Structure 1
Amino acid sequence: MFSKWTTGCAGLLFIAGCASHPPMPTVDYVDLDRFMGDWYVIANIPTFIEKGAHNALESYERNSDGSIATTFEFRKDSYDGPLKTYHPTGFVQDNGSNAIWGMQFIWPIKADYRIIYLNADYTQTVIGRKQRDYVWIMARTPEISEADYQQLRRFIADQGYDVEAIREVPQRW
């Protein structure tokens, strides 16, 4: 009897753990040509490879097949630390808005990548994930005003993220 109860509880916990996340709203439309180019990572909830990143920069370029060649580079642990460079490929998954991508670091896995904020002049953006585990504040310049930074943090909080987990990325160019 004990094992049936334990198995039942374990099953319920598994199902609860697999529950879907609430929808993650995206921007209505992204002009991909305007979005291409360099984006400095201002702050993020870092993935394991990004911990200690300095001078983080993500660059996008459209490929002829419609995919997006991406270069993500940063210095590890200091401004003079080793240069780390990654080349994932982005795949637009929502052609109506161009705001939902799959970002592929390793075939065949495409990580969730959503453009959830983009200002009108395409100089600041927030990239999120429906799991609300990682988020990136990016800008066309290595610095943004404190007022803009705080406004973006409030926006991220409103999306259900733990803003205490956000870390500023040191930028010095």
Structure 2
Amino acid sequence: MKLPKALLLACAVMVNTSACATKLPPIDPVAHVDLPRYMGSWYVIAAIPTRFEKDAYDAVETYTLKPNGEVATLFHFRKGSFDGKLKEFRTTGIVKPGTDNAVWGVRVFWPLKAQYVVAYLKDDYSQVIVARDARDYVWVMARTPTISEADYGALLNKVKALGYPMDKIRKVPQRPRGADLGTGAR
């Protein structure tokens, strides 16, 4: 598979900026992530998006636990509108040992891995914030395509408290659906 130059550049930036020194402290991950419960589909509610997902509509990230403990990921969205071209990206998450499953390296293409920190996870596994120490990208996701304004505001306050520039947050348009993707409870 040949990757577009823009995707390769975005991936290189994602990897390189996490290694750069920042004035902000590292992001504290949640204490524990139950990986089987975390698996499944998550709607992207808001993000500071990477270059290749900046015009995403109906963005969904789906995780599948592989027998070797790695996490297969499928990210898909419509480009530019609800009727736009469907885009898909597959990556692999590698859980960092000693983090109780809360910090991953995401291998976009070998050998580069981007940082993935579960910075907030609601007790019922219905909402999550995925962050990076570099404060360059963040994803607010839920098991449903929409969440209440109160929940949205509370999640954005958490993102702000992590040290992110709020003027870069983009609310991802999600088409309402008849059924959600589940809460992850098993």
Name the TM-score, length of structure 1 as normaliser: 0.88
- C-alpha deviation, 1:19, in angstroms: 2.8
User: In the alignment, which of 14, 18, 21 is matched to residue 19 of structure 1?
Assistant: 21
- One-letter identity of the residue aligned with 2:153: Q
Q: Percent identity, aligned pairs only?
A: 51
Q: C-alpha separation between the residues in 2 aligned to 1:95 and 1:38? A: 25
User: In the alignment, which of 81, 85, 90 is matched to residue 82 of structure 1?
Assistant: 85
Give the match for residue 124 of structure 2: 121
SS of 2:53's partner is coil
Q: C-alpha separation between the residues in 2 aligned to 1:18 and 1:101? A: 18
| Number of aligned residue pairs | 157
Give the match for residue 60 of structure 1: 63
Structure 2, unpaired ranges of 5+: 1-18, 178-186
- What is the 5 A alignment of 1:98-137? 98-137=101-140
RMSD (Å) for aligned C-alpha atoms: 1.3
Divergent runs of 4+, >2 A: 17-21
Q: Which of the two has higher C-alpha Rg? A: 1
Is the alpha carbon distance of 1:80 and 1:91 closer, same or farther for their aligned partners in structure 2, counting shifts above 3 Å? Answer: same
Q: C-alpha separation between the residues in 2 aligned to 1:46 and 1:96? A: 25
Name the TM-score, length of structure 2 as normaliser: 0.82
Structure 1, unpaired ranges of 5+: 1-16
Q: C-alpha separation between the residues in 2 aligned to 1:111 and 1:18? A: 13
- C-alpha deviation, 1:146, in angstroms: 0.4
Give the match for residue 150 of structure 1: 153
- One-letter identity of the residue aligned with 2:39: M
SS of 1:156's partner is helix
